[in-house]
Amino acid sequence: MDKELKKTLGFSAALSTVVGLVIGSGVFFKPQAIYTATNGAPGLGIMAWIIGGVITITAGLTAAEISAAIPKTGGMMVYIDEIYGPKLGFLTGWMQTVLFFPGTSAALAVIFAKQVVELFGSDSSNMAFVLPVAIGVILLLAILNNIGSSFGGSIQTIATIGKMLPLILIIIFGFIRGNSTSLFSPMVGPGTTTGSALGQVLIATLFAYDGWINVGAIAGEMKNPGTDLPKAIVGGLSIVMAVYLAINVAYLWVAPASDLAMATSPATLVATKLFGSIGGKIITVGILISVFGTLNGYLLTGPRIPYTLARQGLIPGSNALSKVNKGGSPSNALWLIAILACLYALSGQFNLLTDLTIFAVWVFYVLTFIGVIKLRKDKPDLYRPYKVPLYPIIPAIAIIGGLFVIINQLLTATMIALGGIIITLIGLPVYLVMKKDK
């Protein structure tokens, strides 16, 4: 239970947790979407990593106040429920169950499959090869996680090594062997405006920075969350931002932005230029281990949301979805996420799926940021072991940044945004029917 969590985490443990949670697959693959949006120009792409990092730091600092004040299992779904009521809380869990976790898992499986297909010398645009691998890796991890949760921990350790090794090697050798070029000029390519591309590149970078919402979950286990948590968030996300900037500068020093826009995996393209064909394949294997671990993380944590909703009797099939197997895994909830992920994977799209999920989840992130202000007014006497610094400036930056991304997506990628809204709102009649049945 939450109250029994031991306060054993110091600053260094919290810092490493932040870095480990955030660095995933986006840094290896999202430069393609970014430099496609800028029409092959580097400037706005580099700026997007900086702006996305600042938005993420303010977001993490803001949401951590709620995480520390409401230290309950369930994360954002519980925060929204406490602040706005059960209906909106349910919609948060519904969005995470039917869209965010399976959609992101599908995106990771698709990009994993494309890398595997390329590694063996085939065309990654051939869906006859890509889709079986994508669905296969989802089902494999679902089976392994059904055995028990201890396997997941081992995968995460190996994946951490897998993701850091390619990053370190590309950064070091990119700076040594690359040729310095202009990083900020031109901002965008011909026929593209900064205003029209900014929302797209921010959506891409925010996917790479995603994972920060889970940082606040460690507040209950920290010795001194009031001072150490904000330091860990700012420090950890600043390290992530520095790594992301360094790797993207290294990419651009080795290959022009126009080449990165054409590559499924910019990291593999750069690694091949730096280390040759064999070296490039070795780096690709490291990237695959990283993506495999990230996908495992989503399939490990995602089922806890439908499991929690099922325990409350709020979703169809609650009796089945609330069951736990002998290995301690919410088996049926896990299969729900896995099967939905397989269906999303049939699209064969990485960038489309991540744009869809990031748009949907950021709607609820913004509600969480606004909730910090609302909670201060509604419950001024609530015990807050940590308060967001520079209030209300930091929450305001997080809210404005989030709203810009949401509104820009509605205007420039309307069908994707509407798709996310419709899938989320389907939860309303489900909630009303289930409530009535209860």
Give residues with Cβ within 8 angstroms of 9, minimum separation 6: 17, 218, 221, 222, 223
Is residue 401 predicted with pLDDT exceeding 80? Answer: yes
Q: Which of 78-82, 221-225, 264-268 has the lowest mean pLDDT?
A: 221-225
> Hey, what are 241's tokens?
């931002």
Question: For tokens 């499959």, what's the residue?
Answer: 113
> What superfamily in CATH does domain 7-437 come from?
Amino acid/polyamine transporter I (1.20.1740.10)
Instruction: Report in angstroms the alpha-carbon separations of 100 from 82, 103, 107, 424.
Output: 21, 5, 10, 10
For residue 109, the model assigns a pLDDT of 97
What is the reported pLDDT for 218? 66
Alpha helix (H) ranges present in 302-378?
304-311, 318-321, 331-345, 351-378
Q: Report the run of H or E that residue 315 belongs to, with start and end.
A: none
Split at pLDDT 50, 70, 90, the class of 4 is very low
Supply the pLDDT for residue 221.
67
| Average pLDDT over every residue of 359-373 | 96
Q: Which of 148-152, 244-248, 399-403, 406-410 has the lowest mean pLDDT?
A: 148-152
Q: What's phi and psi for 9, nearest 5 deg?
A: -85, 125
216 or 209: which leads in pLDDT: 209
The overall pTM is greater than 0.75: yes
Task: Return the residue matching tokens 């809380």.
Answer: 89
Q: Which tokens belong to 348?
A: 């064969």
Residue the block writes with tokens 């080449």 = 259
Does 230 score more than 90 pLDDT? no
Burial of residue 120 (CB within 10 Å: 0-12, 13-18, 19+) is exposed
pLDDT at 216: 66
State mean pLDDT over 261-265. 90
The mean pLDDT of 24-31, rounded to a whole number, is 91
Tokens of 302: 């995602």
